[in-house]
Amino acid sequence: MASGPIKRQDSFINSSNVVDAKLIVLAGPTAVGKGTVAACVRDEHPEIWISISVTTRSPRPGEIDGYHYHFISDAEFDRLIADDLLLEWAVVHKSARYGTPRRPVEEQLASGRSALLEIDLQGARQVRQHMPEAYFVFLAPPSFEELERRLVGRGTEDAAERERRLETARAELAAESEFDTTIVNTEVHAACQELVTLFGNHRN
């Protein structure tokens, strides 16, 4: 059952709010469209580097190893943790593990290139500890009902998994105040442009 609607207006970031960030961390609840918004940034703004996470879950239909995620074994994930090669990692939805390889992020930032991390709430909290200079963006749904509709509509989880993800989403929505700003994902391209605007040197 939904916990009630989230009353929102469409967000808008104007030029006076541009932060000219070099590293932006994008997080938000399950099914809010983080991956879709990040893919839009990748396709329309290739000058912005997008980190590719590692995960122990199996690919969903249409997902490509090395493009959407690096799909690895539990043993390989354990090795990355042991060797301190992950900037952050977490168990997501009480099942698979996800993480951000440390070295590619550090190399891109050292080269002066703007970078985007699209990760979950647990990961964002870890990145804040290691890289407090990053700018943290919460991607929110227009309402909880819309979030539930998107989760059901994508059809990639069974009923039990959907309920686990919705339970997690309720907790994730409560963490919005931890972030520097919020973008409401009413429409993907609009959310993408708001996100890119935060990289002040990339705004149109």
Q: What is the mean pLDDT of the chain?
A: 87
Distance CA(68)–CA(178), nearest Å, equals 27
Q: What pLDDT sits at residue 152?
A: 81
Give the global pTM.
0.83
Dihedral of alpha carbons 71, 76, 78, 81, sign: negative
Q: SS3 for 24?
A: strand
The residues near 166 (Cβ < 8 Å, ≥ 6 apart) are 30, 147, 148, 151
Contact call for residues 202 and 48 (beta carbons, < 8 A): yes
Rg (Cα) of the chain, in Å, rounded?
A: 16
Q: What letter does residue 126 receive in the DSSP assignment?
A: H
CATH architecture of 15-202: 3-Layer(aba) Sandwich (3.40)
Summarised one tens digit per residue, pLDDT across range 124-158 is: 999 999 999 999 999 999 999 999 888 887 777 77
